[in-house]
Chain A
């Protein structure tokens, strides 16, 4: 693995690793790591950094839904055109073109169920190419981006052992 790939892997593991700690873990120079991260950001390989939050533990409630979208294309329109249009809405958290029974899988967020519903019926469904939407409201999240949301398992090893 070259150093740049290793930096990506470490940042995907924990985006808050300091440049110094990444340098230590890869036997390299902090300035070198700094330059690699700058390049990765400039090239658009790294799109951003966000915290993974268990929102059930916050007072404000966020409603999330996974929405299946069916699309019918015409000669002038491509999936990319439709996707770009839908992705621009700030309520859309993620959007993937997928294989299978439907075309796009979209994650939507809002402050209330009515906000999410009206967003889908007023903004997404009217898009001419969208022929069907199926909305699944998220009830409980167990794992996100590789991080489990449980209490975590306690370290039950002996504190000192040979």
Chain B
């Protein structure tokens, strides 16, 4: 069969190769996992089970259950003082990934330029390509702690782009942005009339400062689509539930694609999410506390072993500079010799090379053992 060119020219994810290498080995400790090691809060799982027992296995409204959209609106209002209308400014999707794909397909005209802040989650660039857009990498820098700055945006030529997409707290770097730092990005977006896609899936996992959303800044709500979901904060990755928040015209258009392609997000997951938003603040706080302790442990250990690592303040990743020139070689050798899996930063786009993504979404015993092995390996 003839495969369409825009699909053919997107290479398979570089993470795949490491996955295959790791799968061939027994007893590895993986610091290469991009999802929580916790399970969803029991109350949320219990609500999902109950909904199944009650036979709630039909479609929901295209945009998601009304009750869930109202709870999402309340949460945004409480956390950010941001108002989104559950009727037409909130769309519940099969993971934030679906929402981001919908936004690409909704906003991008063939040949449009999309500025993608990198290093970043592996899906943005392919998503832009599938939607017919051109990717403009915006390379964030180690000296800025991998934050997006006005200068970096300008230097990359993002002024000519139509859309800007970024993710903070960031996967793979663990970088976060404060409200003041986002002001620079907002100023750039306003000046150059960019639509902003702000992936805030790790928002609930911000340490040392409050998470800020760019949509709260002057003149930004109407040009921003915010993405969040239940995967990271509520440890519900496999339930596939996310959402998009944005101006009515954007959410309405995204829903047009969603209703024809997905119909509605998984019903069982929506029941779990309703319960999660109502009752799981304590469970989330407990997970966040655990991640934060591991984060501090990892950063201290890296410092002690002389591994250069900026102070990541979000998600569950540290992003140390690789002690070897070639991060791929290092990660492969580390895996083969010590059984510890990490992901070379180059997989995550521009600016990632020479770094390693180290996930601390792993129990403390394994994490300590893995760090010991890394230390011995470096010596």
Q: Which residues of A contact B (CB under 8 A)?
A: 10, 14, 21, 23-27, 153, 155, 157-162
> Is there an interface contact between B293 and A157, defined as CB atoms closer than 8 Å?
no
Question: Of B30, B294, B296, which one neighbours A27 at CB under 8 angstroms?
Answer: B296
Q: Let me know if B13 and A162 touch, CB within 8 A.
A: yes
A24-B301, A155-B37 known; A161 vs B296 contact (CB < 8 Å) = no
- With A160-B32, A160-B341 already in contact, the answer to whether A25 and B296 are too (CB < 8 A) is yes
The smallest C-beta distance from B350 to any residue of chain A, in angstroms, reads 16
Residues in chain A near residue B13, CB distance under 8 A? 162
The interface residues of chain A lying within 8 Å CB-to-CB of B121 are 162
B150 cross-chain contacts in A, Cβ below 8 A: none
B297 at the interface (CB under 8 A from A): yes
A10–B301 alpha-carbon span in the complex (Å) = 18
B18 interface contact, C-beta 8 A: yes
Q: Which residue on A lies nearest to B20, using beta carbons?
A: A160
Q: Does B71 contact A (CB under 8 A)?
A: no
Residues from chain B with Cβ under 8 Å of A155 in the complex: 37
Chain B interface residue count, Cβ-Cβ cutoff 8 angstroms: 29
Contacts of A153 in B (CB 8 A): 39
- Chain B residues near A160 (CB-CB < 8 A): 15, 18-19, 22, 30, 32-33, 341, 343
Query: Could you tell me the distance between the alpha carbons of A82 and B18 in the complex, rounded to whole angstroms?
Result: 65
CB contact under 8 A between A161 and B300, given known A10-B293, A25-B294: no
Task: Judge whether A14 and B33 touch: CB under 8 Å.
Answer: no
Shortest A18–chain B CB gap in Å is 9
Closest to B37 in A: A155
Contacts of B123 in A (CB 8 A): 162
Task: Check B297 against A24 for contact (C-beta < 8 Å).
Answer: yes
| Interchain CB contact (< 8 A) of B35 among A23, A24, A157 | A157
Residues of A within 8 A of B5 (CB): none
Please measure, in the bound complex, the distance between the C-alpha atom of A149 and the C-alpha atom of B173, giving whole angstroms.
Answer: 37
| B293 lies within 8 A of A26 (CB) | yes
Q: Which of A157, A160, A161 has the most CB of B within 10 A?
A: A160
CA distance A25 to B364 in the complex (A): 11
Q: What's the minimum C-beta distance from B354 to chain A, rounded to whole angstroms?
A: 19
